Structure 1
């Protein structure tokens, strides 16, 4: 693998992703507004740049991993003019579909090429290079970016044109958010009926209730040793991030006039939970809120 990658946004997700590119043989020039994040990435072989514009100046590909659409669009305003014509921009942030399409348009107008390629897998997936990428944009751009995506993850799916990756991401996480609430409610119901966590897990994990929220990220301690529930809900995927993603899904639901009562309710419940838990608890910790509220209603 050859060519230089500029990686902007070296936080909990971006830093291990950039490190995976270094391990794959890429030269990676990185920038982050937080000096400690930049120093940590440098320890993994990322070449620190004093500014985002400096990082992209001689890059073949620019990868971004930022908190929200306003950050992506603001950054593009700063760096599109600094990059070489034809540079491929790959945004791995999770942002609104409309913002993703605007980013594509701004890149095209500046003579660049682009993909939106949000990820699933959380920090654990970023560190293990087992992320799943959902890409939106042209086939040619996806094919060119594929070696990079495969260096950072285990699967990459081309979902369609501009914004399609973001659309797939929010739909997937709406499924996840709703299913985590359903699994959590079932465990709390089981507790009230005298059913052990292990018994319910042994039945549901091999029956029609089986799902990722149960079998991998089980919200109660015991049945799945690797789940955050066994680490006092220290996050793999933070409650604040789930609330953000469900908020994006809810916006799309309302804009599209889609009947999605469970998706909207999940967004409401996680928004309330995230106000308290923020980035300090895994999203599966919502089971404790359900349990506490059930006690109040008893």
Structure 2
């Protein structure tokens, strides 16, 4: 049995830690969100009131946080991970962050004689719950076997991407491809329906043809076709639009720094920006389908009236 410290118990961290507990490991978690802590506690996680408390006697310290700035904040300072880590611990970050943040944490850990692996994941909330996530590892070769052992109860596949920062590099490229594929599913689904094709029949055709993709199989933005689609639930988020926008932005930043043109990713960013400007950043990213029709009236989407939270006149 291993002892894990887990910083960040949100939509991904919560189910991931539950799988560790189910595998017989001890997990101590920390999160600023009381609701996330309560949900994780129901899964058997011991909630700590501080990062230092969560890290006490830990073998592995995982972070799963929304943005690079959050990773910086939990690593730095007297109450942070670096100040409370020992050389026996393995530090792993499974957040989706920018390349610069990952390199910074690698360098800062090495300067302190600590061991760090960037270990982002693919598979979403459903994969986190099922313990089938794909992990992409970046770090020194001698750390990979140890990291894979700590990851095993949460993963369906673990791949060593390369040296420091290569795990997050792979994740940024993969997520960029995902959101480009999502645009294809959104446009194809709406054009097929406008041409009079039965939505389920067209989905079946795409599923055995060259239009097939993970997004088409999992996030198809039409209600009543696949169980995992947010379109079945008024586009409540399985992957928030604002987080999708963040991930595409990371890819575009990387493209700018390397001189690689990314026109399709630029279009995906525009789709997400349009939803965010409408106040829909907390909705599922597959709601980009709304951008394709002149009146935005796509099946599965029922916006609240603009005055829903206002008292009636008179």
Please report how far the alpha carbon of residue 235 of structure 1 lies from its aligned counterpart in structure 2 after TM superposition.
Answer: 2.1
Larger fraction in helix: 1
Aligned equivalents of 2:164, 2:9: Cα separation in 1: 24
Q: Name the structure 1 match of 2:184.
A: 182
Q: Name the structure 1 match of 2:87.
A: 85
1:8-31 deviation line (CA, Å, top 9, x unaligned): 111121111111111111111111
TM (norm. structure 2) is 0.88
8 Å CA contact retained: 1:94, 1:169: yes
> Which of 141, 144, 157 is residue 143 of structure 2 equivalent to?
141
Aligned equivalents of 1:211, 1:11: Cα separation in 2: 27
Task: Say if 2:269 is the partner of 1:267.
Answer: yes
Bigger drift between 232-241 and 157-166 goes to: 232-241
Please report how far the alpha carbon of residue 66 of structure 1 lies from its aligned counterpart in structure 2 after TM superposition.
Answer: 1.0
Bigger drift between 70-79 and 188-197 goes to: 188-197
8 Å CA contact retained: 1:131, 1:152: yes
- Alignment CA distance shift 1:38-1:102 (3 Å): same
Task: Say if 2:72 is the partner of 1:65.
Answer: no
Task: Say if 2:168 is the partner of 1:159.
Answer: no
TM (norm. structure 1) is 0.92
Aligned equivalents of 1:283, 1:111: Cα separation in 2: 40
Please report how far the alpha carbon of residue 293 of structure 1 lies from its aligned counterpart in structure 2 after TM superposition.
Answer: 6.1
- Alignment CA distance shift 1:293-1:265 (3 Å): farther
8 Å CA contact retained: 1:58, 1:84: no
- Alignment CA distance shift 1:213-1:293 (3 Å): farther
Aligned equivalents of 1:203, 1:44: Cα separation in 2: 40
* SS in structure 2 at match of 1:277: coil
Q: Name the structure 2 match of 1:104.
A: 106
Structure 1: 5+ residue stretches without partners: none
> Which of 232, 253, 256 is residue 254 of structure 1 equivalent to?
256
8 Å CA contact retained: 1:239, 1:273: yes
The number of residues matched between the two structures is 293
Please report how far the alpha carbon of residue 248 of structure 1 lies from its aligned counterpart in structure 2 after TM superposition.
Answer: 0.7
